[in-house]
Amino acid sequence: MEFFDRGGRLIGYRLLGPEAAPLVVLAHPLGMSQSVWDGVLPALLKRHRVLTWDLPGHGASAPCDGPLTLDALVEDLLALVALAGSERFDFVGTSIGGVIGQALLRDHRARLNQVVLTNTGARIGTPEHWAARAERVLEEGLSTLAPELAPRWFSPVSRERAGLVEGWTQGLARTDDRSYARLCAVLAGFEGPELDADAARGVHLLGGADDLSTPPQTLESLAAKLADAPLEILEHVGHVPSVEAPDVLAARLDAWLAPAREGLGMHGVDFDTGIEIRKRVLGTEHVERSLERATPLDAPFQQLITRFAWGELWGDPTLSVTQRSHITLAILAALGRDGELALHLRTARRTGVSEAELRQVMMHVATYAGVPAANHALAMARQHGWGDRPTALE
């Protein structure tokens, strides 16, 4: 857990995974916390960098002192994305997290890749419902209302799991009353945007058959406003699939968050996509410096490697960026391509390569390509900051 000072208000967040991996942002439901995503993190972290955070007054985030707006919630998120150093990202949001996702689709579509909205709606409940909920929370307190509200999140099947309802009831009881009530006001005033097919491309919807707060009909109405975005309803799931069916959700996210490569035909990946991936792996400064130095002689070469090596190869989600680094380092070391090897040694930490993994890569090089090649590559690795602490050999 880390903390970000946002205008004097602390936001608790987690930023996990290799810096060079594509970023996915996860937004949690009202009354819960970023820990709702714990069950899907192991699967996501195989190929992604993951950002989660707590809404105001929830989990580890400080309460808000004044009125809250949806725009302010979006700005909190974008400030965290900037902290991660990302321009574009995937987004997954549940309930009010899905409302935040709809606001992003409306106002910041160019920054989004794939978007998954679960258990949410273009309108959730009614303004009167949320006004009444906020009034009760301010009068009675969440510590009193939590045993009534928390069970509604889960399906009858999920409620049979030992400790599930009790644990989340305690979490809700600890949530700040005023922040919760102000988020109720955000939901009361929300009406989701209607998007055309281009704006809704890459949007996926998911719901639970036993969801009391956003039943399947609510998701169907949202799908209609989002150009008939694909919708799946999970049986025996209520309002929180990341908690109730984490393995199922992880499998869906693994498929949906992969870059859309179908329909490319003979055209391949475009230059801008390749540049985005190249900057993410090698660093913006290095890539921009390479492009600035390009001349009429080598500009077509820059186009080629950006579209092919970075767009087609590094952009394919079949292997993680860490796995691709392992392969690249081994090949460059075996072939003695020192210039490229130095570059990839410098950036290997961005892709999540550990020193132990680098050592094993070079063991493979020694075995299959020769000891001198591996020895030379290890010497280069030491020149670039790997293995700073000497180890005594017995």
> Nearest CA to 105 among 90, 94, 118, 119?
90
Compute the distance between CA of residue 346 and CA of residue 286 in angstroms, rounded to an integer: 11
CATH code for the domain of 376: 1.20.1290.10
Using DSSP's 3-state secondary structure scheme, residue 19 falls into: coil
Compute the distance between CA of residue 86 and CA of residue 350 in angstroms, rounded to an integer: 13
Burial class (CB within 10 angstroms; exposed 0-12, middle 13-18, buried 19+) of 388: exposed
pLDDT (tens digit per residue) in 187-197: 999 999 999 99
Mean pLDDT of 188-217: 97
Residue 265 lies in a domain: no
The pTM for the full model equals 0.91
pLDDT (tens digit per residue) in 293-346: 989 998 999 999 999 999 999 999 899 999 999 999 999 999 999 999 999 999
Residue 392: pLDDT band (50, 70, 90) is: very low
Decide which of 228, 256, 284 is a domain's last residue. 256
Residue 338 lies in a domain: yes
Question: At 283, which helix (H) or strand (E)?
Answer: none
Q: Are residues 172 and 43 in the same domain?
A: yes
Mean pLDDT of 48-64: 97
Q: Are residues 284 and 158 in the same domain?
A: no
Contact 210, 184 (CB under 8 A): no
pLDDT (tens digit per residue) in 106-146: 999 999 999 999 999 999 999 999 999 999 999 999 999 99
- The whole-number pLDDT of residue 389 equals 63
Mean pLDDT of 22-45: 98
Mean pLDDT of 2-24: 96
Range of the domain at 379: 271-383
pLDDT (tens digit per residue) in 141-162: 999 999 999 999 999 999 999 9
> Nearest CA to 128 among 180, 68, 185, 177?
185
Structure tokens given for 100? 């935040």
Residue 96 lies in a domain: yes
Mean pLDDT of 67-81: 96
Question: At 274, which helix (H) or strand (E)?
Answer: helix 271-282
The full length of the chain comes to 394
CATH code for the domain of 193: 3.40.50.1820
pLDDT (tens digit per residue) in 252-297: 999 999 865 554 554 578 888 899 999 999 999 999 998 899 899 9
- Mean of all residue pLDDT scores within the chain: 94
Q: Are residues 116 and 141 in the same domain?
A: yes
Residue 10 lies in a domain: yes
- The whole-number pLDDT of residue 217 equals 98
Compute the distance between CA of residue 206 and CA of residue 119 in angstroms, rounded to an integer: 6
Q: Are residues 219 and 329 in the same domain?
A: no
Q: Are residues 278 and 244 in the same domain?
A: no
Using DSSP's 3-state secondary structure scheme, residue 5 falls into: strand
Count: domains in the chain:
2
**Which range has the worst mean pLDDT, 100-109, 323-332, 381-390?**
381-390
